Structure 1
Amino acid sequence: MIHGISGRSPRPASSVGPAQSSPFVPDYVRGITLAGAAALVGGVAWSGDPLTLPFALAFPALWAWSPSRLIAALVSAGYFLAASRGLPQGVVNYYASDLWPGLLLWIIASLSFVCVHAAMWTRQRGWGRAVRYLVTVVLMGLPPFGIVGWAHPLTAAGVLFPGWAWWGLAGTLVGLTMMASRFWPAAVISLGVFWWTAVIWTHPVPPTGWRGVDLALGQRLGRDGSLDHHRELIAMVRREAGEEDRIIVLPESALGLWTPTIERLWRAGLEGSDITIIAGAAMVDAKAYDNVMVAITAESAQVLYRERMPVPFSMWQPWLAWTDEGGGARAHFFANPVAELSGQKIALLICYEQLIFWPVLQSMLHSPEIIIATGNSWWTAGTSIAAIQRANAASWARLFGVPLVVAFNL
């Protein structure tokens, strides 16, 4: 009877869920609630424990439930800032500065993520938003936006679908898309079932004969170029190598500046053994430097890998080339996705490359047999950054069923 008197049609139910505005819940209250929930999701998912990574799959639902573009931006900011919360303290540690530069860089780094997610949000509910979120996932996974595409939800694929390889990645992508649609309850149930299988999660291990050696040399690593320091490292490596260990992996920057003198010193130090050392170094020329991983034996030495994506701002500073000042690390982007050593294909990920999406996926296209993840992470003290790097590398290794060798300096 009321319908007949008013002459108005009843308002259709939302095809997404809580995104529909309600006269009883103002949009600003909904915005604060959704942004707070997104921050909680980001903080829990990116805690450094691989088993918490699937919490990130709740983010697309929160984004889709946003009743306006502004709230979608706030939700995205809450998620990203919580996930990357260690950055301000890391900047303080690295530059020995106060907190303000770190906070400024933290906010600047979030702009790409927030702007892309805000721009792709639409008032069209249902599959309209779901398809747009799918596009957003791709945009944040690949350059240029993927250069700062931290906290990518697809990283959880290795926890949900260990050993499924590309099928597992596709399944996670479908789940993310459904989370941004009106079918999100079905997605929660389906992904939850696979998440439950994570109780049998086991960390990937190095292959037989390989060993990653963690160091605790702090800022000294890579900066102490004395011959005595290198002799200490050589002696340590020979002590650490067990009877079956033939390939020893050391962290990023372990060798400092790579020079003919350092090469001769390490080769001489390995005489009488069949050990191969894989270690980080820097190769400098008049214009810039390369962050590399080298392989050394008593007979020879070679550059295995040149970093595709150094840390933006602190290492990769392309604007220096535009001003002819020189300096900064080169980004080799899509070069050398795999290296070959002793007839085996190896995917190498140095530090920052473990935090973003595209380097490991590019490497996996070439079917590597081993993943090596290294970092010189002394500057992450007091944060969860190094733990997140390890968790990401472990998730990718488990997804593709590839052995993992890890070596960090803290």
Structure 2
Amino acid sequence: MSRDYLRPALLIFASIAIGVVGWSGHVLLLPVALGFPILWSLAQTRLVAALASVGYFLAASRGLPQGVAAFYSSDIWPGLLLWLCASLSFVVVHAVLWTKNTRVRPSRYLLAAVIMAIPPFGITGWAHPVTAAGVLFPGWGWWGLGFMTAGLAGLAARIWPAVAIAFAGLWLWSAASWTEPHLPNGWRGVDLELGASLGRDVDLHRQRDLIATVRNAVSDGARYVVLPESALGYWTSTVERFWTGAFSDGDVTVITGAAMIDPRGYDNVVVAIDRKGARILYRERMPVPGSMWQPWRFLVGESGGARADFFANPVVPIGAGRAAPLICYEQLIVWPVLQSMLHDPGFIIAVGNGWWTDGTSIVAIQRTTATAWAKLFAKPLVIAFNT
């Protein structure tokens, strides 16, 4: 192979490898994703930069086609189409902002990183390398995020070897002393393995089983018990009365997912239930684009789909403190958690319903990103997933 083709091919294959390893679902491997800005800056043409972006993003989100096929009970082709469409914004941003001017290139990459972190492009801003800040700068908070942001620009500059060495040292130090985020006192997250039936099978037997699960957690000393996304299915007055009645004589608070439907669509919510009654604690800011959030329905005069409350309720009061809830897809993108951290919550609640991701690394990546952000801002973390 001639030299003209060997270098671009190596860059593209290296980008794929970085996407696979960095986003494998192991939190301490997140810094591998920091190799992408280096490869992007080493590209000698806009086409190679675009192809490197394609390789990185598709490798990082490789579980999507299989997950979509499982979700819709269809063949792989709809998933492949969504996979390619989702990569479009990432690739376009990084291809357009690439430049031959090496002096300008670091600021261009920094601009691309910012654009992919906030709406509208940030709506599909998965696999963002800035997430590795939680591994390299645990407990540093906004200072750590600032150093990481500056480091991303440095990795796209001629000084990238020095920046990479510094980051490698921080990575080794962090890995040697790594500890998982701790639970808030009195809290318990309950993982379930109920598959696709969770939220769909809502008969009396299932409700009683969930209540028994909560009571088992309470018997172990928990006062706040978190169940996964969609655990209660549709939130109705009947479901509300049943659950509030079940805990009317205790001192436990149940935090659980549900869906609220009206003629225009539905809200993906988190509900708080205790002896005083029930209330909507949180409305999801960013539902999954395509399968849940379908804004084109409004343009053609149709109803349906989940509503997106982009910048609403970043923190919610619960007990004596405030929490930053993140439902499922919100754990994969940057701006929901950063918006919540601006309000300095006491802890993070991460819930999801990942039955459709069986055989993929999607749930592991969601747990990894939630863990990384919790470590960066030194926040306790409560996780509850259904698989």
| Structure 2 residue 189 is matched with structure 1 residue 206 | no
Residues in 1 aligned to 2:131 and 2:97: alpha-carbon distance in whole angstroms: 21
Q: Distance in 2 between matches of 1:169 and 1:149?
A: 17
Secondary structure, aligned partner of 1:296: strand
Shift of 1:229: 1.4
Deviations 1:67-95 (CA, angstroms, capped at 9, x unpaired):
10011000000000000000000011101
2:130 maps to what in 1?
Answer: 154
1:291 paired residue among 241, 259, 268: 268
Correspondence 1:221-370 to 2 at 5 A: 221-370=198-347
Larger radius of gyration: 1
Q: TM-score when scaled to structure 2?
A: 0.98
Q: Deviations over 1:219-264 (max 9, x none)?
A: 1111112122112211221122234310000000001100111010
Range moving further from structure 2, 224-233 or 377-386: 224-233
- What does residue range 163-182 of structure 1 map to in structure 2 within 5 Å? 163-182=139-158
Contact kept, 8 Å, 2:188 with 2:217, in 1: the verdict is no
- Alignment-derived partner of residue 44 in structure 2: 67
Q: Once the two structures are superposed, what CA deviation does each residue of 1:275-302 show, in whole Å capped at 9, x if it has no partner?
A: 1000000000001100000100122111
2:118–2:334 contact (8 Å) kept in structure 1: yes
Report the secondary structure of 2:216's partner residue.
Answer: helix
CA distance in structure 2 between the aligned counterparts of 1:123 and 1:357, rounded to whole angstroms: 28
Amino acid in the other structure paired with 2:198: L
Distance 1:205 1:342 in 2: 18
1:144 aligns with 2:136: no
1:30 to partner: Cα distance: 1.9
1:271 CA drift (Å)? 2.9
Query: Which secondary structure does the structure 2 equivalent of 1:141 belong to?
Result: coil
Deviations 1:296-331 (A, max 9, x none): 012211111000000000000011111122000000
Name the CA distance, whole Å, in 1 between partners of 2:81 and 2:261.
Answer: 30
Give the match's secondary structure for 1:47: coil
Is the Cα–Cα contact under 8 Å of residues 208 and 244 in structure 1 kept in the other structure? Answer: no
Give the RMSD, CA atoms, in angstroms: 1.1
- 2:361 aligned partner, one-letter code: S
1:30-77 deviation digits (Å, cap 9, x = unpaired): 221101000000100000000000001110010011110011000000
The superposition leaves residues 334-367 of structure 1 with CA deviations (integer Å, 9 ceiling, x where unpaired) of: 0000000123110000000000000000000000
Tell me, yes or no, if structure 1 residue 25 matches structure 2 residue 8: no
Partner Cα separation in structure 1 for residue 306 and residue 249 of structure 2: 36
Aligned residues: 386
Corresponding residue for 1:105? 82
Unaligned runs of 5+ in 2: none
Residues 221, 254 of structure 1: 8 Å contact kept = yes
